[in-house]
Chain A
Amino acid sequence: MSEIFTKTMARNIYLGGSVFFVLVFLGLTLDTTRRMPKQDNRHNLTEQVALGKKVWEENNCIGCHTLLGEGAYYAPELGNVYKRFGGSKEAIKGFIKSRPVEGIPGRRSMPQFNLTEEELDAIAEFLKYSSEIDTNNWPPNING
């Protein structure tokens, strides 16, 4: 076998295979970014949603929660929280606002982030926008 399959052949498979699949991947990326507008809910991407994403990031929400299934697994999925909370932005804001500073004895509790009213509106709007992304029907149910 070692005579038939030489090191040069192995190298060529590596180089040829990698270059080929890099090109395929770039092609697929181009195609995906072109099709994305149909699914990514960008027509609802307002300035407020953009601010909400920033609030999301600057409070490290992903450190406990998942968003579309990605993140940490310590706290509930939030990609569909807007729907889980009955389509109510007020409910989302109310939940965030009401977290006790010292936590809940023995239980997991979200920290009190002391967000401003503007930030609360923005994060709620961002979560609404996230819930309207076409995710190929994920998650399986409302629990996320």
Chain B
Amino acid sequence: MSEAHLSYQSQAVAKPYFMAAIGLFIGQVIFGLIMGMQYVVGDFLFPEIPFNVARMVHTNLLIVWLLFGFMGAAYFLVPEEAERELHSPKLALALFWIFLIAGALTVVGYLSVPYATLAKITGNDLLPTMGREFLEQPTITKVGIVIVALGFIYNVGMTVLSGRKTVINVVLMTGLVGLAVMFLFSFYNPENLVLDKFFWWWVVHLWVEGVWELILGAILAFVLIKTTGVDREVIDKWLYVIIAAALITGIIGTGHHYFWIGTPNYWLWLGSVFSALEPIPFFMMTIFAFNMVNKRRKQHPNKVAVLWAMGTGVMAFLGAGVWGFMHTLAPVNYYTHGTQITAAHGHMAFYGAYAMIVMTIISYAMPKLRGIGNAMSNRAQVVEMWSFWLMTVAMVFITLFLTAAGILQVWLQRYQENAMPFMAAQDQVAIFYWMREVAGGVFMLGLILYVVSFFVKGNGQEAAQPAYG
């Protein structure tokens, strides 16, 4: 029975969440490949799946699978930290189906009817919230997200409140409540474009460069405690310092989005200075992960989970930290704003910080949830490690190619004398889009291998023992 390896039986509700996360991740990458092709073969799947639809599916699936991952992580780690069963496993399961069906219906809506029709039939007139980047969901879906979030926070919150209140649980809870609260700004869509954009960032930036970092930090800390056996006091202290750095830099760091949207020019230096410090918490995460693994008191058999944890630190620092810093200073951003540089940064940051932390917790929790033990067999772990390297290296190359495309784009379209129009510049950089698409194919290969790793059998003894080599 799968429950045998769980500290608390109710942790089992995390399993469908993780499975849904992986499924939607596959969908996200498929649509990424479609878009990558559309960048070079402009009429690919046109007019059946225009670029804007593919992009909406790509980004929305990303958000939804990460949310599934965060919720699964919470259902798994909160009971263990609180040392009690989840308040209501039934509610968790009900919310899972509501969220999955609402998500699926939304994607079907995107793909089956023109967006304007979707807006009409879902009553966007009553409360117009659609048609803004990442917040394309019909208003009714947004209401569904809020309901799911409320039920989820109630469920997890009750568990935290009536159990052992660890730093990890409290930080995770803060992050999740922050996530839900900031999402409420998606319902504010004033006619004034500048005001709209200003508060749109309260959802987008204060999620990914704010409260999500608390969730990331808490999950990372949990996995490191479990896999290294390092004293909780030490880990807690690191966690506090990391999230302090995240919020101290990230909140005013929102200002790096207020350079060119019709907001006062004091944001130019405020946004530059504070967002230039935003790599600090990510750098700390890297040091944190490596330090804890170095100081480990035990050799945990789940080596691949430790690999994901260390990978998260490194890739989050590179993607969010270094690639973010590269174009965050106003004089640089003046030229790079809204180019492929932004796309390059977005890809590595989301993968490195948030995709990888979800893979970390899945990797740690899944063997337990499936009743296999503390780790998958050695063979399965090796396959998963291959998938780690394929996906991660592919993402590095996707980022490098987009960066090259971006630098050229800036030069051709904005910097040189006799700068050329957008589409002319796009034609010039097409070779990099081709290479990005190839790297995307490698990423897909890694993802397939990742799924395969769940089905690799090994003899049961291996799993129970430390996996060396």
Contacts and interface: CB of A to CB of B under 8 A. Distances in A.
Interface in A64-95: 64, 66-77
Contact of B262 (A6, A22, A135): A135
Interface string B29-67: 000000100110111001100111101100000000000
A134 B267 CA distance: 14
17 contacts: A10-B236, A17-B244, A17-B248, A18-B248, A21-B251, A22-B251, A36-B263, A49-B191, A60-B56, A63-B115, A66-B338, A71-B338, A72-B133, A73-B343, A108-B38, A133-B194, A133-B261
B128 A36 contact: no
Contacts of B55: 63-64, 72, 74
Among all A-B residue pairs, the 4 with the closest Cβ atoms: A63-B52, A57-B131, A69-B338, A108-B42
Contacts of B261: 68-70, 133, 135
A50 B43 CA distance: 32
B191 A53 contact: yes
A137 B130 CA distance: 29
Given A10-B237, A62-B132, A140 B334 contact: yes
Contact of A11 (B130, B240, B265): B240
A58 B422 contact: no
Contact of B128 (A24, A57, A112): A57
B422 A143 contact: yes
Interface residues on A, range: 35 or more
Interface of B: 35, 38-39, 41-43, 46-47, 50-53, 55-56, 115-116, 119-120, 124, 128, 130-133, 136, 167, 189, 191-198, 233-234, 236-237, 240-241, 243-244, 247-248, 251-252, 254-255, 257-265, 267-268, 270, 334-335, 337-340, 342-343, 413-415, 419-423, 425-426
Contacts of B335: 140
A25 B251 contact: yes
A57 B128 CA distance: 9
B237 to A, nearest CB: 5
A134 B258 CA distance: 12
A41 B252 CA distance: 25
A130 B261 CA distance: 10
Nearest to B117: A58
Interface in A1-25: 2, 5-7, 10-11, 13-14, 17-18, 21-22, 24-25
Given A36-B195, A73-B340, A62 B133 contact: yes
Contact of A130 (B193, B257, B260, B426): B193
Interface string A106-144: 111101110000000000000001100111101111011
